[in-house]
A and B are shown apart, each in its own frame.
Chain A
Amino acid sequence: MTAPLDATESAQHAEPEAITQGVRDIASRSLTQIAWQRLRRDKVALGGGVVVVLLILVAIFAPLLTHWFGYPPNEFHQDLINPSTQGVLGDDPNDPFSTDKMGGISWEHLLGLEPVNGRDLFSRIVYGAQISLLIAFLSTILCVIIGTVLGITAGYFGGVVDTVISRTMDIFLAFPLLLFAIALAGVIPDGAFGLTDNGLRVSVLIFIIGFFSWPYIGRIVRGQTLTLKEREFVEAARSLGAGTGHILFREILPNLVAPILVYATLLIPTNILFEAALSFLGVGINPPTPTWGGMLSNSLDYYTQAPHFVIIPGLAIFVTVLAFNLFGDGLRDAFDPRSSD
């Protein structure tokens, strides 16, 4: 919106040939096109975006990658472990406590081995990406659905409805989410809702994270709806006799797509950290399924012998979360109508 206005403003002070150029620029650029142009110039955000795409590809092709470059994620390699230190066996045959400081990182095992049972870390990191991204994406979708429906309802109808929904959001935002999540994960039995084992754990985690994180989206949507419903095009639709449903979903919702997309992108890293924290505390996916948080929980006993066992899963989380944050920040700046380019 602002960009064409800026163009006119600068055009007034410019040379005649510049005016025609400026006019051509004004011609037709939607907010999405402006955002895309800004995003293309933001190298940091693009870098984040590229890493995100790579991570998604890694998660999708996890079985192929481990087939080519690793070993099955649950295969033990205890012959490579020094039983007296539980770390990876070192080179010195005379020292009974010889431990490899690098954790067995080699061409054979790209990211080294786990202490104790010697599972291949590369495979476990790659499969960990699968679980992590799956839960983060699906729980974010759940957040978006709950947050959009409740946010748009609160913003549009106002009054008592708004008060009730807004208070509920305040309550959710103020609560010790982790404690409630731990409690919820603790009371769900091993088999329920016709699901068992990992299927159940994944669904429960998606539900818990989605259920506790929707107010972040809800607040944004409510705020945007409050301003949108006063706009002329909504007024026009109403005077033409459009029903509430039409106004909500055909007039207001399409204008909310950009902010929802931006905040969903920024919610994904938060949800990745949430899942990792739950797995770290032992209420996430059950072992032996590899998760990054679960690996960091196991590493607590071995950080002196095997620092790589802390660093590798930790870096996996860090890189993933940072990439999503950088991309999300760039997306937000690009879609922000107040920022000028």
Chain B
Amino acid sequence: MLKYILRRLGASALLLLVVTLMTFVIFYVVPRIAGRTTEQLATMYVGRAPTEAAIQATIERLNLDQPLALQFWEFVKGIFVGAEYTFGNDVVQCSAPCFGYSFQTYQEVFPAILDRVPVTFSLGLGAALIWLVGGVLVGVVSAVRKGSFFDRIAMGLALAGVSLPIFFTGQLALAFLVHSWEIFPNAEYTPFTDNPAAWASGLLLPWLTLAFLHAAQYARQTRAGMLETMGEDYIRTARAKGLKESRVILKHGLRPTLTPILTIFGLDIGLVLGGAVLTEQVYSLNGIGRYAVTAIVQSDLPVILGVTLFGALFIVVCNLIVDLLYPLVDPRVRAAR
């Protein structure tokens, strides 16, 4: 067991390095491949009023005239020990962990991200709970009642669900459920610690919007998995032993179906971040996704870089957690490692 944990930790450390390298390549190598000169590259990081001196200072600071390996080293070092930014006569200290400094808003990127994390986290967590429970539940009922009216309606809806983009369903919900029929309150974020009821009611619509897409996919997957396991010999054996049908379904049928679902769930955390970006944009929630999208409009490159890096690191950590939880669900993993 300890060996398994250590191996996972090692793999995650390696993954962290790969992600950081990928982010570095996107922001410092791709623009060069696309034909930007060192000066133009530096200008992208300077901000609103690029002066000759500021550009030179940026080249110096990011080591843009040095070999790529050295640039990458400085990039990583900046994250861990912080960096100093000079513009004009001022010197700004960006303390570790330094994810960059925005010259558009004159703000350090990392604290700005931290401010917005609760929004994105609340959104993702609530939606994930809804779609996991809802999707699996619908999938199980559909599989048990295969061919029934419920099954056909649910699977029809699920097929429609995987074909509906969030930025369409979200706006439909806003136009009709919120404005025309006033069934739902408008989406807004209230910190959980301030008022849990307002937190939940303000996020209800975004949760449902984000969850619908994934719930549809999970329902389809659970149904397919359940149908396969329910045809296995040991299910027949369990029934022959005289077990109650509910026990056969939940204990013998659902358990092995859940294992691959958990694997998919681990992979989907990355997708959720993408879905959260779109959901935040539709409902004007000030999470990290909207922070990045706003940065695109203002071409505030350090912010985009910071959010990308943060998102990637977050996913690595989430995957590690899922990996460590895995043996608890699947006894075969426990035995093998």
Contacts and interface: CB of A to CB of B under 8 A. Distances in A.
A179 B165 contact: no
Contacts of B267: 173-174
Contacts of B162: 325
Interface in B253-297: 266-267, 269-271, 273-274, 277-278, 281-282, 292-293, 296-297
Given A178-B274, A283-B296, A325-B162, A183 B304 contact: yes
Interface residues of B, number: 55
Given A192-B35, A296-B167, A318-B164, A303 B174 contact: yes
Interface in B181-236: none
Contacts of B62: none
B270 A174 contact: yes
A314 B166 CA distance: 10
Interface string A172-211: 0111111110111111110111000000000000000000
B20 interface: no
B122 interface: no
A83 interface: no
A322 B171 contact: no
Interface string A128-153: 00000000000000000000000000
B270 A281 contact: no
A187 B172 contact: no
B296 A277 contact: no
Give the dominant DSSP class at A's interface: helix
Interface in A275-296: 276-277, 280-283, 293, 296
B22 interface: yes
Contact of A187 (B18, B27, B274, B311): B27
Interface stretch (A7-15, A63-71, A228-236, A304-312): A304-312
A176 B312 contact: yes
Contacts of A318: 160, 163-165, 168
B64 to A, nearest CB: 14
B159 A325 contact: yes
Contacts of B319: 174
Nearest to A316: B168
B30 A184 contact: yes
B163 A322 contact: yes
Contacts of A283: 296
Interface string B73-107: 00000000000000000000000000000000000
Give the dominant DSSP class at B's interface: helix
B34 interface: yes
Contact of A183 (B27, B34, B270): B27
A187 B41 CA distance: 9
Interface string B19-62: 10011001100110011100010001000000000000000000
Contacts, number: 151
B63 interface: no
Interface residues of A, number: 47
Nearest to B305: A183
Contacts of B307: 179
Contacts of B174: 303
Contacts of B266: 174
B167 A176 contact: no
B175 A303 contact: yes
Contacts of A311: 172
A321 interface: yes
Contacts of A177: 270-271, 274
A296 B171 contact: yes
A252 interface: no
Contacts of A300: 171, 281-282
Contacts of B40: 189
Contact of B168 (A189, A317, A326): A317
B168 A281 contact: no
Interface centre among B15, B30, B270, B282 (most CB of A within 10 A): B270
A98 B283 CA distance: 27
Contacts of B297: 282
A296 B30 CA distance: 29
B165 A273 contact: yes
Interface of A: 171, 173-180, 182-189, 191-193, 269, 273, 276-277, 280-283, 293, 296-297, 299-300, 303-304, 307, 310-311, 313-314, 317-318, 321-322, 325-326, 329
Given A176-B273, A188-B31, A273-B165, 16 more contacts: A174-B267, A175-B19, A175-B312, A178-B273, A178-B278, A185-B296, A189-B36, A276-B165, A283-B296, A303-B174, A304-B175, A307-B175, A317-B168, A318-B164, A318-B165, A322-B160
16 contacts: A177-B274, A178-B278, A179-B274, A182-B296, A187-B31, A187-B44, A277-B274, A296-B165, A300-B281, A300-B282, A303-B179, A307-B175, A310-B172, A317-B165, A318-B168, A321-B165
Interface of B: 15, 18-19, 22-23, 26-27, 30-31, 34-36, 40, 44, 159-160, 162-165, 167-168, 171-172, 174-176, 179-180, 266-267, 269-271, 273-274, 277-278, 281-282, 292-293, 296-297, 299, 301, 304-305, 307-308, 311-312, 315-316, 319
Question: Which 9 interchain pairs have the tightest Cβ spacing?
Answer: A178-B274, A314-B168, A192-B34, A321-B163, A322-B163, A303-B175, A176-B273, A176-B311, A310-B171
